Amino acid sequence: MLYPIQNRVRNRLDISGIWDFKPDPDGIGEANGWALGLTNARPIAVPGSWNEQYEDLFGYLGLAWYVKRIYVPAGWRGERVFLRVGSACYLGTVYVNGVKVGTHEGGHLPFAFEITDHIRWDEENIVAISVENELRPDRVPSGNMPRRERGMFMGTPATTFDFYPFAGLHRPVVLYTVPQTHIEDITVITEVNGAGPRATADGVVKVQVKLNAAADGPGRVQLKGDATSITADLAFVKGVAEAALHVPDARLWSDKAPYLYDLTVTTAADQYSLKVGIRTIAVADGQILLNGRPVKLNGFGRHEDFIASGKGLNLPLLIKDYQLMRWTGANSYRTSHYPYSEEEMQLADREGFLIIDEIPAVSLQLADEANNPARLRLCLQQIEELIARDKNHPAVVMWSVANEPMPAGFGVGELGSHADDEKNRAGKAFLDALLDKAHALDPTRPATIVMIMGSPLSWLEQCDVICVNRYWGWYTLGGQLDLARQRLIAELDQMWAQFHKPIIMTEFGADTIPGYHGHPGLMWTEEYQADYVRCHLEVAATRDYVAGMQVWNFADFAAVPSIMRVGGLNHKGVFTRTRTPKMAAHVLREFWTKTSK
């Protein structure tokens, strides 16, 4: 799943913009020819969620149609043409000139269908995409579970998770071409020999190239940096070729110096270029090692979320968020709770952010065994698609294959308070299958599952890094930071004693209404959030095995309106939804600009 690029042999045309749009609550569109045009359509922005663009669409998650009329450039004749959707939440079906060309299930990941044979050259073409985001127990993520399984998120729409289930075409829609025989996939793995405290070391860039056909023949790969140009020959046998490029005195990629090389693969008919960072990531002796040296992941859990655009790609916001994260001194975040845009992953490479890359498996209700087979199939597909999409990003340092899978009869508790009993054994098998899949597809990166308070201990066994979400001082021991600190220390030490693996607190946070103050600082005030964050960072600083602290959340975000979510927002952001800092953001800056430089 290579990102579409424009170069001398490949073409790319972004057909995002304002499209025609029409909800289809009764599912009559296909039979009535909506794929060939909509009557009484309204304009809608692509990329963007539909829910905040029109008031009446806020709660609408059913089927809807997008239509756009386009010309395919005449010069593309003879090439193979694909239509690619960056993300459709949740089920997307593509039609070209009335012909259904394919359907894809699962949001937040790209899909492409070949449309060469359906194109009308020198005439207008009608592209239609129907999207539907119904919440169902057999989907990932799930919704409309039996009420007892939904815990505290009892609002409408009936999600199992704590963010608004935005719907629509969330990322660019592009047409692209490839030559008849073309490069289908490239895998880059880098090694570093003897990296010490220096920013350079001898590097190896291993490249595997796959063609779309089992062809034999020559090719070439070139790695270019400011002072480097290394080439190697490729010899394709049955469509596959490999090379190892040795880079003496390579400039390494790191969060502090994210140096990128240009890698170009050339074959008889095709050419593809991508950015490469030479770095290694490993877990050893209770630490995460970047280029052989311990690194701490300081930063956030986040969401793709903003006013009006919802979960739609919003490039100015992306730049702004990176600037704000840098301002706090953060060097990392998790793509909670689904893969973020490809444009964002490219920015992470360039800006030196360490990413925990997560599939959309949030709040899997594993005790609901009837739906587990369908959900397992989807999770495995999502792992495959995510690793195919993001494997070449140096910024991605770990795969997260689930966030807070739920044990049977869930209730917030202490470490291991849900037993490793019969009821939770099926859950363990499910989760182990996800970790096995990630390890098999990518042996170069650690894989993990982000655990909820009280998870059965056996669920953590196969994780390379222990990632836990903890709300001592908020959902439990609310307002009692002294007790919360003790619990946190006790639990962290217990996890370390049990697993001897690095621990990342992937969530800890307190809802905070911007502008609420108090002396003393009670829950919901900016003072309380500032004290809460300080308390957690102080504890982490005394524990070497704590390999990262990621505050929940970077910014306030749209949640499902309920008694838990004032104004429909989760207010645990250290920035507001419009990106103004709360007091806690300054606390982070104090800690992280001191310790991470």
Interface positions with ligand GCB (CB under 6 A): 162, 337, 403-404, 469, 507, 552, 570, 572
E strand or H helix that includes residue 381: helix 372-390
Which residue lies nearer to ligand GCB by CB, 294 or 413? 413
Considering beta carbons, is residue 200 or 476 the nearer one to ligand GCB? 476
C-alpha to C-alpha distance for 463 and 451, rounded to whole angstroms: 10
Which residue's CB is nearer to ligand GCB, number 372 or number 570? Answer: 570
Residue 552 C-beta-side C-alpha neighbours within 13 Å: 19
Whether the bond between 51 and the residue before it is cis, its omega within 30 degrees of 0, is: no
What whole-number distance in Å separates Cα of residue 589 and Cα of residue 117? 55
End-to-end C-alpha distance for the chain, whole angstroms? 36
Type and span of the H or E element at 505: strand 503-507
Sequence-separated (6 or more) residues with CB below 8 Å from residue 171? 47, 85, 86, 87, 110, 312, 313, 341, 342, 343
Min CB(340)–ligand GCB separation in Å? 15
Identity of the residue, 375 or 391, whose beta carbon is nearer to ligand GCB in the bound complex: 375
Considering the complex, what minimum distance in angstroms separates the CB of residue 564 from ligand GCB?
8
Is residue 507 among the annotated active site residues? yes
For ligand GCB, give the closer residue by CB, 349 or 507: 507
Which residues are paired to 84 by β-bridges?
112, 174
Of residues 474 and 591, the one with the C-beta less far from ligand GCB: 474
Q: Cα torsion at 488, 493, 498, 501 (round to 10°)?
A: 90
Query: DSSP characters for 98-150?
Result: TEEEEEEE-SSS-EEEE-GGG--TTS-EEEEEEEE----TTSSS-BS--GGGG
Q: How far is the CB of 337 from ligand GCB (least distance, A)?
A: 6
Question: What are the start-end ranges of the E strands in 237-380?
Answer: 240-251, 261-267, 271-276, 281-284, 287-290, 293-294, 297-301, 332-334, 354-358
Which single residue brings its beta carbon nearest to ligand GCB?
162
In the complex, minimum distance from the CB of residue 469 to ligand GCB, in angstroms, rounded to a whole number:
4
Active site residue 404: yes
| Residue type at position 264 | T
Note whether 220 and 243 are within 8 A (CB): no
Would you say 48 or 509 has its CB closer to ligand GCB? 509
Q: With beta carbons less than 8 A apart as the criterion, state whether 107 and 170 touch.
A: yes
Reading the block at residue 594, the tokens are 């001191």
Residue 293 CA to residue 529 CA, distance in Å, equals: 32
Sheet-wide strand order for 271-276:
228-236, 217-225, 261-267, 271-276
Q: Is 305 helix (H, G, I), strand (E, B) or coil?
A: coil
CB of residue 356 vs ligand GCB: minimum separation in angstroms?
13
CB of 404 to ligand GCB, least distance (A): 5
**Residue 581, token pair as written in the block:** 């800092």
80, 54 in Cβ contact below 8 A?
A: no
Give whichever of 332 and 469 is closer to ligand GCB, judged by the CB atom.
Answer: 469
Q: H-helix or E-strand containing 224?
A: strand 217-225
Round to whole Å and give the CA distance between 36 and 416. Answer: 56
Q: Minimum Å distance from CB 413 to ligand GCB?
A: 13
| Options 404, 491, 526, 527, the catalytic residue | 404
Q: Least Å distance between CB 371 and ligand GCB?
A: 20
Question: Shortest Cβ distance from residue 586 to ligand GCB (Å)?
Answer: 21
Choosing from 52, 304, 344, 507, which is the catalytic residue? Answer: 507
Cβ distance to ligand GCB smaller for residue 90 or 161 = 161
Residues known to be catalytic = 404, 507
